[in-house]
Amino acid sequence: MRQLFHVTPSGWAGLATAAFGILVLPSLANSYWLSVFTSMGCFLLAIAGVAFMYARLGMVSLTQVGLMGVGGWIALRLNYAFDFPFEVNLALAATATMIFGWILALPALRMRGLYLALVTLMAAGGLEILFATFQFPNGGAGFWGVQTGSGAAFRRPWIAQSAQAYLRYVIACALLGFLCIELHRRLQPGRAWALIRRSEAAAMAAGVNVTLYKTWAFGIAGLLGGAAGALLAGSLGLLDDGTFRASESVMIFALAVVGGAHSWQGALVAALLYKVLPALLNIWGVDANLSFVIFGAGLLHAVITAPQGIAGQLLDGLRRLSPKREAKDA
């Protein structure tokens, strides 16, 4: 069990990056970049969920942003309906999204991997329509809670009221998400997942309840996605249905693969590309639609030639620079 708390070099780098994000970054950024980075942090958490599922189990979910929308909706609704502190709303939103995700994925979890991609894509389309029809709660009356004009404020965490503090909060949550995944990986679920990735038949023959572990993995992805959505609601105060279109879910999956689904570095690259690249393109006056082209081409390239993504190629390059290190840490 000493293996459990062993920190790999990559792990130290991750902790260092998180420390930088929490301690240094908020004081460096102006208000525009604070909101971009906070958004990025939320999507980083969601991308972590979708990436690990693909890398560790080969499961494709094309509805992660949709699940973020579900989490955000629930957090908003709870905020206006009750007086719970933010953390309670966050926990409830994340859990409810996890259950909602299970319901969505249920038809596909016992079938071939392809069907999960299909079912989640359909779910993404369905969620897009639901969000466009019912919008997001903003303090209005009734179940859907929508009113014209802005409503009461969204209550942020007690310890994270300012923009800087909230950025720290979001990064800390993202770190927790990664740690949660890593903990799973080092224990029984991780072993079961690795065998499932290799061959579902072999996993069954080894006594692994494949459906249970696939469901568990999808549940984590849903949990992280829901939490990310709630955090986004906290950041923006209100949510817009345009943020949660089916194309966005497809995009972050594509970027998760492009960045590199196997590592936290890859998820970070993906979040950077998703949030920062369009912002940069805007500043440089380049048509934002070209980001679709770039990301799509990146996905094709990654799938064809570089399955470990940009992060994988960078890490490979680093490894080649220091020949002493064996490729032992994953």
Partner 1 sequence: MLEIEDVTVRFGGVVALSAVSVRFDKPVNGIIGPNGAGKTTLMNVLSGFVRPASGRVSGDGEALLPLAPHRRAHWGLRRSFQKEEIADDLTVFENVLVQIDHSRSPARTKTAEVEAMLTLVGMAERAGKIGAALSGFERRLTDVAKCLVGQPRLVMFDEPAGGMSVDESRQLGALIRQIHGATGAQVLVIDHDVELIRTICEDTLVLDFGRRIAFGPTAEVLDDPRVKAAYLGTEEV
Partner 2 sequence: MRLARYGNWLLWALLMAAVIGVLGWGGRPQMVGLFIASGLAVGSLYALAGIGIVVLYRATGVLNFAGGAAGAAGAMTAWQLTAWGFWEPLGWLACLLVATAITLFYGRLIAPRLAWRETVVKAVATLGFALIILGAISFLWADDPRSISLPTDAIGVRLLGMRITATRLLLFAASIGIVIGIWLFLARTTIGLQMRALASDRDLAALMGIPILRVETIAWGIAGLLAGFTGLMFADLIRLEPSVITFMVIPGIAAAICGRLENLVVVLIGGLSMGVIENMLTMSTTLRGVRPIAPFVIAALVLLYYQRGQRLTFGGRD
Binding site for partner 2 (CB under 8 A): 58, 60, 62, 104, 106-108, 110-115, 117-119, 121-126, 129-130, 133-134, 200-201, 204, 210-211, 246-247, 250-251, 253-254, 257, 287, 289-300, 303-304
Backbone angles phi, psi at 188, to 5 degrees: -50, -45
Query: Distance of CA 112 to CAs 130, 178, 245, 249, Å?
Result: 28, 27, 26, 21
Report the nearest approach of partner 1 to the CB of residue 191 (Å): 5
Q: How many CB atoms lie within 10 A of CB 329?
A: 12
Burial label, 226 (beta-carbon count in 10 A; 0-12, 13-18, 19+): buried
Binding partner of 202, given partner 2, partner 1, none, CB within 5-8 angstroms per partner class: partner 1
Q: How many CB atoms lie within 10 A of CB 12?
A: 10
- The dihedral sign for the CA sequence 71, 74, 76, 78: negative
Binding partner of 134, given partner 2, partner 1, none, CB within 5-8 angstroms per partner class: partner 2
Binding partner of 228, given partner 1, partner 2, none, CB within 5-8 angstroms per partner class: none
Q: Which is nearer to partner 2, 126 or 151 (CB)?
A: 126
Binding partner of 68, given partner 1, partner 2, none, CB within 5-8 angstroms per partner class: none
Binding partner of 248, given partner 1, partner 2, none, CB within 5-8 angstroms per partner class: none
Q: Which amino acid is at 221?
A: A
Q: Which is nearer to partner 1, 121 or 196 (CB)?
A: 196
Q: Judged by CB under 8 A, how many residues of this single chain contact partner 1?
A: 21
DSSP string, 30-94: -HHHHHHHHHHHHHHHHHHHHHHHHHHH----S-HHHHHHHHHHHHHHHHHH----HHHHHHHHH
Report the nearest approach of partner 2 to the CB of residue 135 (Å): 11
Instruction: Label each residue of 37-53 as H, E or C.
Output: HHHHHHHHHHHHHHHHH
Q: Does 325 bind partner 1 (CB under 8 A)?
A: no
Q: Which amino acid is at 243?
A: T
Q: Which is nearer to partner 2, 13 or 122 (CB)?
A: 122
**According to CB under 8 A, which residues from 175 to 234 bind partner 1?**
188, 191-192, 194-195, 197-199, 201-210
Q: What residues make contact with partner 1 under the rule CB under 8 A?
A: 1, 188, 191-192, 194-195, 197-199, 201-210, 328, 330
